[in-house]
Structure 1
Amino acid sequence: MIAIYPGSFDPITLGHLDIITRSSQLYRRVIVVISRNPNKNPLFTVEERIAQIRKTTQHLDNVEVDSFEGLTITYARDRQAKVLLRGLRVLSDFEKELQMAHTNKTLASDIETVFLATSTEYGFLSSSLVKEIARFGGPINHLVPEHIALDVEKCYGNTLR
């Protein structure tokens, strides 16, 4: 079965990697897909994020990385996926994600949303938090893979090493 893990991944965090790694053990193929959202102002281009995620997940043979613009359900159908993966950290994530899952179900009743709770050590972690810490010169190497920390720190002119 093919599962889609959509998101902005700007940047990918250890929490995202946790969800990707665990889901790769559950599904035949996992497609990490970057949604092109014109309403967001990302730190990295889609192409940079694709390269970052590919490097981060290169040890996982059944994971691929892609991008799309439009409805996630349309992309899932195009890729013959039957599962949308969503990571949950806190209760407020669940409320938003459940609403989206119900909406997606009205658009495609044959595609299921599966929620994976983030491992405890990543329950607080978000890409926004990583960027905020880096913006103010704080260390982020315990929140993201090493190569991502270097990329983020470079964007903010940090030299914490």
Structure 2
Amino acid sequence: MDLLVNLYSRKLDTLRERVQTCEARIRVALPPEQHIVKDWVRTHFSEYWVSEVTAAMAHQPPGCLVATIDGQLVGFACYDATARGFFGPTGVAEDQRGKRIGLALFYHTLMAMKAQGYAYAIIGSAGPVDFYADAAGAMPIPGDKEDIYQGLLRLKPATENPS
């Protein structure tokens, strides 16, 4: 299900307050760090998300934000990766979850989108719908179960060559 977030909603003021105590530093990823971010995403998430990080990093300014604690990468969030106006992918290291890092990444990414002139953000194929609804008032976009990821190429498991 795709979700829509109004970047002018007062709900984002509340979200800003909720993330002020997050211990992670959130900032835009720098181009020379791209290989570090991609390796980290590959290790913790998926090759598909590495492709989206690559697309987001190609923008100027980069559409990828990182969360760090003591100089160590603990999370990331992208926008304008699969499509313009899309938020995601985003992820936080498993041992860092529950510390509002994902919430802070979400907030700062939405603010980066707003600063670039977006009035709305789309969360494509949103996983935790309740999380986004609670955090920013995200609303479902009516649809017929078809989305941008329909027909996405998938790797098939390798098979032995019978010859």
User: Which structure shows the higher helix fraction?
Assistant: 1
Query: What TM-score does the superposition give when structure 1 sets the normalisation length?
Result: 0.29
The structure showing larger relative contact order (alpha-carbon pairs under 8 Å, at least 6 residues apart) is 2
Query: What TM-score does the superposition give when structure 2 sets the normalisation length?
Result: 0.29
Pair member with larger Rg = 2
